[in-house]
Chain A
């Protein structure tokens, strides 16, 4: 793209664009490394299938053929070491809470948590007389996205996961954070 009288280098400098912008054909993209990393992380989060109760059935239905979770990049992994997102689907009880914490610690950074269903958000229908129910999984692990519902439809879960992807896209992993 050469204007009359000036060569490319001078045109770039005059328009304050980077040296590489629009100098090559369309299959070259120039971007900051931050954005590249967060784009890569957000579009293929592999989820750790931690299904406890009824919401696990809706999670399985979301991963099945009608509402396909793989088209947004998510594959179910059974081991916490291989997963990025932990979807806590179902009621967490006191007996299970210690294990949830251990599993969360076994996941490698960067890790995210989606609390699916009312039980994982705040105890669900068992909030009043449930002595053995943990009233919300955010008592033991930090949660990024809450998906309400009892159980939430697979479409609602997909919306929650897309919101999580937006959140991940906004991260700047390499930028030094000002205190």
Chain B
């Protein structure tokens, strides 16, 4: 596409966003007209997702001033406390939905999270492993406190080649099985875990299925593992 056409389409999209469809509809060339319309639809979608992202943030701030303690303020409070007690662990991402940490002092921070009386996160609700692309794997922990009834989410990112995070199974006993499952599906190793082995897949399975570049193995004990059944064979 030539740069003239690019400029023309950009102008038409600008006009279309303000509501002026005449200039697009009056183009003779069918191909150019359809390209302009496609570009306009894309721009509208991008603008809409910007809008919905803002009310989402506002809504979460409104909700947080309900019975449960305000999660935004809670996250800020926790971040400040972590910065004081365990300097260097916080990765400054400045989001209200979660706290991003480095894996080095995670065991100590976790012990403190459970024992600190104003927080008392005595229940690990969910642990998710996720492959965020760019060769980074993340482990996300959702905590909940039975006493104070507040929630928080903590994320720890590790590089793909050396994915090791300290294990917290001594603190919350359910982390035993959650970490085994994350290891099974993504290959993140948890150092200090007393019995880290596969839990869902057989012990001699090859590969980490939930990574985005997973290739299914060809056979398992002589049974063919088809990658994808094309139609009906």
Tally A-B pairs: CB < 8 A: 26
Picked from B223, B224, B228, the residue with its CB within 8 Å of the CB of A129 is B228
Stretch among A38-46, A90-98, A104-112 lining the B interface: A90-98
Picked from A97, A123, A127, A131, the residue with its CB within 8 Å of the CB of B223 is A97
Contacting B at CB under 8 A, from A127-159, are 127-129, 131-132, 134-135, 139-140
Residues of the A chain whose Cβ atoms lie less than 8 Å from the Cβ of B166: none
Residues of the A chain whose Cβ atoms lie less than 8 Å from the Cβ of B220: 94
Q: Is the interface of B mostly helix, strand, loop or mixed?
A: loop
Nearest chain B residue, comparing its CB with the CB of A131: B216
**By the criterion CB–CB under 8 Å, are A127 and B229 in contact?**
yes
Complex Cα gap A135–B178 (Å): 28
**By the criterion CB–CB under 8 Å, are A94 and B216 in contact?**
no
Interface: B110 (CB within 8 A): no
Interface: B202 (CB within 8 A): yes
Nearest chain B residue, comparing its CB with the CB of A128: B228
Q: A131-B209, A131-B216 are in contact. Are A94 and B226 (CB under 8 A)?
A: no
**By the criterion CB–CB under 8 Å, are B221 and A135 in contact?**
no
Residues of A in contact with B, size category: 10 to 19
Nearest chain A residue, comparing its CB with the CB of B232: A122
Interface: B225 (CB within 8 A): yes
**By the criterion CB–CB under 8 Å, are A135 and B226 in contact?**
yes
Residues of the B chain whose Cβ atoms lie less than 8 Å from the Cβ of A134: 223
CB distance from B64 to the nearest CB of A (A): 38
Residues of the A chain whose Cβ atoms lie less than 8 Å from the Cβ of B228: 128-129
Q: A123-B229, A127-B229 are in contact. Are A132 and B223 (CB under 8 A)?
A: no
Residues of the A chain whose Cβ atoms lie less than 8 Å from the Cβ of B38: none
Contacting B at CB under 8 A, from A18-58, are none
Complex Cα gap A140–B221 (Å): 12
Nearest chain B residue, comparing its CB with the CB of A139: B223
Q: A123-B229, A127-B229, A128-B228 are in contact. Are A95 and B223 (CB under 8 A)?
A: no
CB distance from B221 to the nearest CB of A (A): 6
Complex Cα gap A134–B223 (Å): 9
Residues of the A chain whose Cβ atoms lie less than 8 Å from the Cβ of B224: 139
CB distance from B99 to the nearest CB of A (A): 33
Nearest chain A residue, comparing its CB with the CB of B200: A132
Complex Cα gap A135–B231 (Å): 13
Interface: B201 (CB within 8 A): yes
Contacting A at CB under 8 A, from B197-233, are 201-202, 209, 214, 216, 220-221, 223-226, 228-229, 232
7 A-B residue pairs with CB within 8 Å: A94-B223, A94-B225, A127-B229, A131-B209, A131-B225, A135-B229, A139-B224
Given contacts A128-B228, A131-B209, 12 further A-B contacts (CB under 8 A): A94-B202, A94-B221, A94-B223, A94-B225, A95-B201, A97-B223, A123-B229, A127-B229, A129-B228, A131-B214, A139-B223, A140-B223
